[in-house]
Chains A and B, each alone.
Chain A
Amino acid sequence: MKLTISGAIVAYAAVSGAALAQTELALWYHGAGNEEEAAVLNGAIEDFNNAQGDWTVVVESFPQIAYNDSVVAAALAGNLPDILDIDGPVMPNWAWSGYLQPLQVDETLVSNFLPSTVGRWDGEIYSVGLWDAAVAIMTRQSTLDKYGIRVPTLEEPWSLEEFNAALETIKASGDFDYPLDLGTAWTGEWYPYAFSPFLQSFGGDIVNRDDYQSADGVLNGDAAIAFGEWWQSLFANDYAPGTSQDPAVRDTGLIDGKYAMSWNGNWAATPVLDAFGDDTLFLPAPDFGNGSTIGAGSWQFGISATSAHPDGAAAFIEHLMQDKYTAAFSDTLGLVPATPTAAAQSKYYAEGAPMEVFYGLSEAQALVRPVTPGYVVAAKVFEKALSDIANGGDVIDTLDAAVDEIDADIAKNGGYGH
């Protein structure tokens, strides 16, 4: 009996030893449930595994909604994989918490990447993304023409007065339920991602980016209060549906003609293009005084701190960073390619292609969310503040409260290592 068991062990070791000629690298990915996305990723992994003899990458996918929690739980339990995919604004928190190690890639490799796709913390690169996302005002040429509204451009976006006047005109016509759909139904990261650029365009911010030690004066200063009052007026005047917006109507309201304009991301662009064709317009954010700006930073790849094979993981990430994969992801998911060369060979972002404008937006206006480990908390505070203001809360008091909460959190965390 004993002999057979040890015999089996020897046999097993021989078999697995042969299989282990390539060292296994685990990769966690957030895109479970999306078959097209999985196909592109698996294709890239297969290419990598076949192209060299040292490493085999094995992917495990999670649903996006549970992904961050899973990583945090795995980190607490000491079970992180070698390669992680990471949401851009969360990266500093994970790096600071010690989940990640710096990514050893050559600076020249990322030189032509959009700056927002390279995750940097503490002077080092921790993550690289193949794509970014961009947000635009989606509407129809015919709608603007009908009400005599100027079509804004990247060089000359709408001013605050022009934007308000446009909303007022459309509202007064009574042709739509609401002139503007902001997507307030999408709770969570959408709020800081989509709406903090408005605040920044007014001249405020979520936190003071000089040293990331306080939000006082930037989130409750004069500029922020002006933003807050404008934000509240959108809902008080019924220009936009409030926080109880039905998520289903958010998805189809523009196409169904309930909304005249929709503030939405490139990932939602294809249905609009299908519905409106050449009549579709993707317009830049208004310039509220400090330039027109949009949020940036999407999913990126990095290496866990506990990985025993950072060289293999880095080799895989460098392999992924080829234009053909960037273009493939872009063609499948409608994402903005990270490099101009990939954009040129992609379906939607090549010159003259229907979504080329988003690449321009990402290139010209993108501002990443505050690069600090405290962002994770500040984002939640910011979301609550915007909901409260939208629901009629006192602007100044609400912003003060948000500042107090963010500052208390920064203090409690010893300044988050800045």
Chain B
Amino acid sequence: MASKLTQSNSAGWAFALPGFGLIALFIVVPFFFAFGLSLTNQRLVSPNPTEFVGLANYKNLLGVGMITLEPERNDAGEILRGQDGEIQYPRVRNYTRKNPDYPHLDGMREWFRWSSGDNAKVVLAKDVVFVKALKNTLTFVVIVAPLQASLALLLALLINQKLRGINVFRTIYFMPVVISIVVVSLLWRFIYSGDNGLLNNILGALTFGLFEPVDWLGQPSTALGAIIAMSIWQAVGFHMVIWLSGLQTISPVLYEAARIEGSSAWQTFKYVTWPGLRNTAVLILIVITMQAFAIFAQIDVMTSGGPLDSTQTLVFQAVERGYGKQDISGGSVISVILFLIVLSISLIQRWLTREKN
């Protein structure tokens, strides 16, 4: 393995040392700490000694179960129905709380259910908040990554023109990136306010008062969507700049040639611009994915994971447990799981976007 990298390159290594050292100290070492702590019952503060608990924390977090509920029947064997005709089922707590016949379900809670005939199939989870956080985070990534990347590309194409005052537009699009995310989140909390928020007022004015005000952050159906929209608005400028740098590396000669050949705007984009942006695209996709998985500040400032866990995310839960509830081991487990998810997704992305020979 003797190569130029390892031999007679002491100056290079010396230059790299501060960077490597900091990364090791603040990222690599803490990660191994987190992994170690996730196997213990470490608390933030406690006079009790730390104990090794093996994989118990992981089991508590990832345990799922399932139960089929049969309808409640009266003495004649008829199915009991509620006021609207919906079938009445026994409560899940009858099975999951101290029921000796169902020890494997003890302490679980309902995640979701569906009907199958007269019965209801209920999926249970040991830690419903965690599985909801996982689902929300994945939803967030799946929507944000492609949407933000393409919007950023669109903006980059728009501002990559030689127009008078184009720098004004560049500045405007880039501005949200420079403002602290906490400030942006606070502002958007006012914008989304259900009582007298800017968004409700604008929509009301546009529809001549027909629009019914919506409590954007206050109801489970709109809260996550509202945060997604705001997050894209905030971060899109950053990736626009990366796209722009990619665009400006494409040689103008290629565009000139395309014009001489009589290529349409779409053809130019498809055969000149896009192939030239290949490496930029890979970078942007991976960066957005990783950033999206780390969503925290917006949640912390705007919703604290509510309403009804509709905006819980992994990092928010890791902080909430590790620091808020003084359960370092619980927070560490989530961090390790998040690391494994992000790592595997990044590897898959690398593999899918590899140079094919």
- Residues of A at the B interface (CB closer than 8 Å) are 69, 72, 75-76, 93, 96-99, 177, 187, 241-244, 246, 249, 376-377, 380-381, 384, 387-388, 391-393, 396-397, 400-401, 404, 408-409, 412-414, 417
Contact = CB atoms under 8 A, between A and B. Distances in A.
Given A244-B307, A391-B306, A391-B307, A409 B45 contact: no
Contacts of B44: 72
B173 to A, nearest CB: 29
Contact of A387 (B46, B107, B307): B307
A99 to B, nearest CB: 8
Interface of B: 41, 43-48, 91-93, 97, 107, 109-110, 128, 190, 193-196, 215, 217-220, 304-309, 320, 323-327
A231 to B, nearest CB: 15
B324 A380 contact: yes
A249 B193 CA distance: 11
A351 to B, nearest CB: 41
Nearest to B197: A246
A417 B308 contact: no
A298 to B, nearest CB: 21
Contacts of B220: 391
6 contacts: A72-B45, A76-B45, A96-B47, A97-B45, A388-B308, A397-B109
A266 B48 CA distance: 39
B218 A396 contact: no
B193 A246 contact: yes
A242 B46 contact: no
Given A76-B45, A97-B47, A404-B107, A246 B308 contact: no
Given A97-B47, A388-B306, A401-B128, A244 B91 contact: no
B192 to A, nearest CB: 9
Given A381-B325, A392-B308, 4 more contacts: A96-B47, A391-B307, A396-B91, A404-B107
A417 B109 CA distance: 29
Nearest to B304: A187
B324 A397 contact: no
Nearest to A381: B325
Contacts of A381: 325
Contacts of B47: 96-98, 417
A96 B41 CA distance: 18
Nearest to A97: B45
B309 A412 contact: no
A246 B188 CA distance: 12
B325 A409 contact: yes
Contacts of B97: 400
Contacts of B109: 397, 400-401
Contact of B306 (A387, A397, A417): A387
Nearest to A383: B304
A400 B93 contact: yes
A87 B97 CA distance: 35
A386 to B, nearest CB: 11
Contacts of A397: 91-93, 109-110
Nearest to B323: A69
Contact of B307 (A69, A243, A401, A412): A243
Contacts of A393: 308
Contacts of A99: 45
Contact of A243 (B43, B93, B195, B306): B306
Contacts of A98: 47
B218 A244 contact: yes
A381 B327 CA distance: 13
A99 B45 CA distance: 10
A177 B320 CA distance: 33
A242 B325 contact: no
Contact of A380 (B48, B196, B325): B325
A393 B309 CA distance: 10
A138 to B, nearest CB: 20
Given A72-B45, A97-B45, A417-B47, A244 B93 contact: no
A414 B306 contact: no
A391 B190 CA distance: 20
Contacts of A417: 47
Contact of B327 (A96, A391, A409): A409
A190 B14 CA distance: 53
Contacts of B219: 391
B254 to A, nearest CB: 52
A242 B93 contact: no
Contacts of B107: 404, 408
